[in-house]
A and B are shown apart, each in its own frame.
Chain A
Amino acid sequence: MINMGKRTDIKKIMLIGSGPIVIGQACEFDYSGSQACKALREEGYTVVLVNSNPATIMTDPDMADRTYLEPLVPEILAKIIERERPDALLPTLGGQTALNLTVQLTEAGILEKYGVEVIGANYDAIRKAEDRALFKETVEKTGLKVPASGAAYNLDDALDIAGRLGFPLIIRPGYTLGGTGGSVAYNIQEFKELADAGLKLSPVSEILVEQSVLGWKEYELEVMRDRKGNAVVICSIENFDPMGVHTGDSITVAPVQTLTDREYQAMRSAAIRIMEEIGVETGGSNIQFAVNPLDGEMAVIEMNPRVSRSSALASKATGFPIAKIAAKLAVGYTLDEIPNDITRKTPACFEPAIDYCVVKIPKFNFEKFPLSEPYLTISMKSVGEVMSIGRTFREALNKALRSLEEKFSGFEDILLPLETSEGISKPGPNRLFYIKKGFNEGFSIDEIAVISKIDRWFLYNLKEIADCEAEIKKYRGRKIPHAVLKKAKEYGFSDRQIAVLTGKKDEKEVRMLREKYGIAAGYKLVDTCAGEFEAFTPYYYSTYE
């Protein structure tokens, strides 16, 4: 096929939104859907939007050509398709809801009946990514591994598989929505109970019993691909919390921090191969990996053949507009035909180079869910997230903690109910602060690493913040020297925090001292290219340097 830019054989495109805000599917899909509406209309396509949630930007009157505020069920969508007769359906920007509906519409023969082409990721690709057995087969075809597992339809089968794989084990009930009922069993008693519950939860009485990679390092890559097979990795993400905590509930960091280039490239190549093998024709995908910290053994955990929660993070973290580009790729453009809006001179066919560190911290609201335990597991519990940018992990982390609006001023001492080692080993929303408490009580980095499985690199950086705090405290009632104040600001301490630690009247006093010393925030550009090219988008972060 010769280069020919966008498709002219399609005129009207239907877009499915993600419906109500639920845990795991929130405003990020409003963002991606809105971006897609804009991008498609910019190209002259007529956009038909369906979303049941009116409290979204994408359903504002001027976003799409036709907007349907209707229940997201196949019957209603079929009626809309009958009435609107779109040429194509783009399902990859409306979260899991849009993918599931596309599967249902295909299986019901609706799309075929009205001649609607699915663009972005088709039925087969969606099924290969979603169905655990198909996914395993597809991944293994590329020479990669998924954690060992087996499907069981009764308790005896399940016990057989458990005997083969050893504990701990992950139990995933089949065909439940969003991984509901997923659990971890550490011993045979727990396993019997959880497997039994899982079998009952599954409408087809099926559970997948999976080898646990709890404690392995967890990574995610955001990949984009065009119809010619060109693929680029937009962002690499490393989870602070090891496997066992849902990615949506993990503190995550971009780019990856503790992989050598050899391992990173192996992961990058694997991600691109999986995307090809799954058959995502165009757009973005998110692929998750686990890595054994003892020997580097790598396993593929899952893949989303669509723009995901992490894509929104990756877009903000790099300046690369994933949803917008995904929409343009879906209508036939190739990556080299789309300009990079930020540099204007270079194409979107590149991998962003970033020159800062990004930290995402999830936000929880356990008070509102009195029945859920305040522990983090493999099903997602967070209700939002904050992202911050700094020149170092320490700075970004402190900024993010302040942004949570939980009254934290940074990595600091707070009142905690649990015994320290329990709080460190059992992942909960306040694990960071238990680590702080651990440092205060004389736990070493290695001790904390052993019980939390958090990488020592992260822990060491946390310890550096704690040590800096101790240094600041020495100047209680005294003037803080230039070098100490500068370091504190570089580490992401706020003026108020420094005032409290040194017994100053208020933050103004610290600010005045800073001004006297000439320590002021600078603003650096998020430009996708680490300064290599001139940038035109006004997207800045503050830092002290």
Chain B
Amino acid sequence: MEAHLVIEDGTVFKGESFGASGESCGELIFNTSMTGYQEILYDPSYKGQIVVMTYPLIGNYGVTEEDVESGKVHAEGFVVKERSKIYSSWRAVKPLDVLLYEHGVTGIEGIDTRRLTVMLREKGAVKAGIFTGRNNAKKMVEKVKKSRDIAGVDLVKEVVGNNPYFWSKEGSRKVVVLDCGVKYNTLRLLSERGMKVLVMPAGTPWQDVVKEKPDGILVSNGPGDPAAVPYVVKNLANLIERYPVFGICFGIQLIAQVFGGKTYKLKFGHHGANHPVKDLNTGRIYITVQNHSFCVDMDTLDKNDIETTHINLNDNTLEGIAHKKFPVFAVQFHPEHAPGPPDAVYLFDRFRDMVELR
């Protein structure tokens, strides 16, 4: 079936539909990872976004049972040059289009993704829509224009459940994960390090978190605008001086706000698995996984309290902070990887050590 990818400026790309049919709008961003499409699709941080893969051949190894990173596929749409009609892997259980179909997500192939990427690089992230079947161009552009802008929107409540749950009950120390849209690999890495993992929705009142008597708190990654969830920042403000805290991605943006920091939107964000980040304390460089459209403004943080621990070597943006008095640290990249290089999992060891020292 034919399908169209429509940009808010009126540009229309024609392609073929795969996965679910229908229409979906979202912010269009590109990801430069060459493997890991399944984990990307399942990442709750992509809520509200249509993902363009810059690598042209997608779906080659199908979909596996193990590489599931959340309860469902969260991306609003998926744009590729070519979806493989065959999948080959001893672990694969189904093809990519079936996964998208099952989760009601529209995909489009046959798109010149390179042209699209260069456009996004130059113009910045834009609103776009995928429409399957025959459609009137004017109407499609109208719909895209009218679709919501993710700046200022609380997307966390759209991806997080209402109830707390234990990921693992084994372990001598208990960690509460404040769930803004956590990926399962974060939970796996915590429990592998011998910690009891209780996942609580980010909006849980801080008193309820305290009642659980945690030994540490992890603030997870999540979708959308970090300035749109003041209630989570408020909660966090009441917890941050009581426990060791580790923030990932969206988590760093919330923690920074607790200490008076401000966030801003990047032109087209960082989405990929090859970003060099330098640990300023050790001088070591890690190849990191990144997926963020917003960023903490370094200059809005009080240097007396907050230390910059990591920076991105591509554009010198802020990648990590630590509090000078409290055992609180956070990074903008994804040490839990999946997909991408596991170079920075040492941060989970650092968190475990903090939790155990408490």
Contact = CB atoms under 8 A, between A and B. Distances in A.
Interface of A: 3, 228-230, 232, 236, 255-262, 264-265, 268-269, 293-296, 334-336, 345-347, 349-357, 391-393, 455-457, 460, 464, 524, 529-534, 545
A268 B89 CA distance: 18
Nearest to A266: B342
A149 B276 CA distance: 39
Interface stretch (B43-51, B61-69, B149-157): B61-69
Given A258-B88, A350-B275, A355 B287 contact: no
B285 interface: yes
Contacts of A265: 337, 339-342
A533 B121 contact: yes
The secondary-structure label for the interface of chain B is loop
A460 B84 CA distance: 10
B67 A261 contact: yes
Nearest to B117: A531
B242 interface: no
Which among B55, B60, B87, B112 has the greatest number of chain A C-beta atoms within 10 A?
B60
A264 B283 contact: no
Contacts of A259: 35, 61, 89
Nearest to A293: B90
Contacts of A349: 276, 285, 313
Contact of A230 (B33, B285, B340): B285
B79 to A, nearest CB: 13
A371 to B, nearest CB: 38
Interface string B273-292: 11110100001110100000
B60 A350 contact: no
Contact of B117 (A258, A264, A294, A532): A532
Count class of interface residues, chain B: 35 or more
B289 to A, nearest CB: 10
A236 B55 CA distance: 14
A260 B35 CA distance: 6
Interface of B: 30, 32-36, 38-39, 54-57, 60-61, 64, 66-67, 81-82, 84-91, 112-114, 117-118, 121, 272-276, 278, 283-285, 287, 313-315, 337-342
Contact of B56 (A335, A336, A357): A357
Nearest to A353: B32
Given A257-B60, A260-B67, A347-B313, A532 B121 contact: yes
A350 B276 contact: yes
A354 B81 CA distance: 13
A3 B314 contact: no
A350 B337 contact: no
B57 to A, nearest CB: 6
Which among B285, B315, B340 has the greatest number of chain A C-beta atoms within 10 A?
B285
Contacts of A352: 274
In the complex, the 3 A-B pairs of residues with the closest C-beta atoms, listed nearest first: A261-B36, A261-B339, A530-B54
B95 to A, nearest CB: 12
B91 A261 contact: no
A531 B88 contact: no
Contacts of B339: 261-262, 265
B285 A336 contact: yes
A455 B275 CA distance: 31
Contact of A3 (B89, B112, B283): B283
